Amino acid sequence: MNARGWGIRGAMGAALAVLAGCAQPDLSEVQQFVATAQKTTPVKKLEPPPEIQPYLPFTYAAQGRKDPFVLAPFAQEEELELPQEMVAQSPNYTGPRPNPNRVREELEKYSLASLKMMGTVRMGDGSELWALVLAPDNVVHRIQKNNYLGTNHGKVIGITEQRIELKEIVPEGPGRWQEREAFLSLTQ
């Protein structure tokens, strides 16, 4: 027999094998298992879904009372700087005071508590460490020593990988100021 004969016989054998696989198998065992499982498994009733209450709109009609959607004065982020007239009232005062002519930096409009230190990065030749600070508007700022942040004239005096050290100038009384140390720690 030649090669062509073997090729036809091989193809016919393969076709028969495929067709034999399509024959009806004996499913009696599977059908018996399903019937037994249906009889022995307890039927559990589902709980009814919770009743949804209709929306009842509420109108705030407390005239003359505090609006609950307005921030209280103590919670607003305002500068605690005294007016220049009050500073001028004490010309003999020689203590620390903020420079009224200094241009304010971007992070000085946020309270120190609302800022988050996110990490550090080395700039230039790798010797200068900069801090990454997240502002409440979700913008990350890069700051270095001598930058300012916070509403109390906070000047950056040092940066480590764990925190930013500041020297703030806060009002102590009419026309008087006091320096205090503050810091911003790395957020975990």
Give the CATH number of the domain where residue 147 resides. 2.30.30.830
Q: How confident is the model at residue 11 (pLDDT cuts 50, 70, 90)?
A: confident
Would you say residue 46 lies in a domain?
A: no
Residue 137 burial (C-beta neighbours within 10 Å; 0-12, 13-18, 19+): exposed
Residue 170 burial (C-beta neighbours within 10 Å; 0-12, 13-18, 19+): middle
Q: In 10 A of CB 65, how many CB atoms?
A: 8
Q: In whole numbers, what is the pLDDT of the chain averaged over residues?
A: 79
Tell me how many domains the chain contains.
1
Would you say residue 144 lies in a domain?
A: yes
Q: How confident is the model at residue 5 (pLDDT cuts 50, 70, 90)?
A: low
Would you say residue 2 lies in a domain?
A: no
- Chain segment 52-78, per-residue pLDDT in tens: 888 888 776 777 777 666 666 655 544
Residues spanned by the domain of 139: 101-185
Tell me what pLDDT residue 125 has: 79
Tell me what pLDDT residue 82 has: 47
Would you say residue 105 lies in a domain?
A: yes
Tell me what pLDDT residue 79 has: 45
| Residue 86, C-beta contacts closer than 8 angstroms, at least 6 positions apart | 174, 175
- Chain segment 165-180, per-residue pLDDT in tens: 999 988 887 778 889 9
Cβ proximity of 81 and 109 under 8 Å: no
- Chain segment 90-131, per-residue pLDDT in tens: 556 677 888 888 889 999 999 999 999 999 998 877 778 999
HSE-CB at 7 with a 13 A cutoff on CA atoms is: 3
Would you say residue 77 lies in a domain?
A: no
Would you say residue 141 lies in a domain?
A: yes
Residues 114 and 104: their CA atoms lie apart, in Å, by 18
Tell me what pLDDT residue 57 has: 82
Residue 117 burial (C-beta neighbours within 10 Å; 0-12, 13-18, 19+): buried
Residue 41 burial (C-beta neighbours within 10 Å; 0-12, 13-18, 19+): exposed
Would you say residue 127 lies in a domain?
A: yes
Tell me what pLDDT residue 118 has: 92
Would you say residue 19 lies in a domain?
A: no
